[in-house]
Amino acid sequence: MDLSPLALWQSLSAQPGGKWLFSRAICFKAPYFASISPRFEVLRPGHCEVSVRKHRAVLNHIGTVHAIAMCNMAELAGGTLTEVTVPATHRWIPKGMTVEYLKKAGTDLRAVATPVGDLPAGAGEYPVQVDVFDTAGDVVFRAVIAMWVSAKK
C-alpha cells in the first residue's frame, strides 16, 4: 500500500472531511504547521494550494495575518508541492526563502505554490514560488523557496 502524501491525498480529498483529515495528517507529521490550522485545497505534482482562515492565532498586533504565519503557509505549500513532485528516489530540504510582503493581509488567505524551473537532473536547487492571495484575489505576499533536491543515500 502506497502511503505517500500524494496517494493519501488522492484517496482522501474527494471524501467528506477528507481534505481536513489530510491536512491534519500533514500537521501530525510536521507539527509546527498546525499553528496556522491550514487546509489543503489542491495537490498534484507541480501545484499545491493551501488555505488559512483569518483567526486570532495567526493575527499580529494590528489585526492582520502575521508575516510569519504567511511564511509558515508558504513553506507548507512549497514543501508539500516538492514532496509530491520529486521522484521517490530523491529527497529535498528548504535551503532558503526570499519573501515580499506586498499588502496587508486582512482576510482569509490562499497560498498557491508552483515551480519556477525544472527539477535538476542531479543534485541541485529547485525553486518554488508561492503567491498568497486574499479573498479579493490580490497577492498580499510572495515567496521563492530554494529547495535543495538530491538523490537519497
Global confidence as pTM: 0.95
Q: Write out the chain's pLDDT in tens, 153 residues.
A: 567 999 999 999 999 999 999 999 999 999 999 999 999 999 999 999 999 999 999 999 999 999 999 999 999 999 999 999 999 999 999 999 999 999 999 999 999 999 998 999 889 999 999 999 999 999 999 999 999 999 998
The residue whose grid cell reads 494590528 is 62
Q: What is the DSSP letter of 59?
A: B
CATH of the domain at 59: 3.10.129.10
What's the number of domains the chain is made of? 1
State which residues form the domain around 111.
5-151
CA atoms within 13 A on the CB side of 47: 4
Q: Is 89 left (phi over 0), alpha (psi -120 to 50) or beta?
A: alpha
Query: Cα separation of 69 and 2, whole Å?
Result: 31
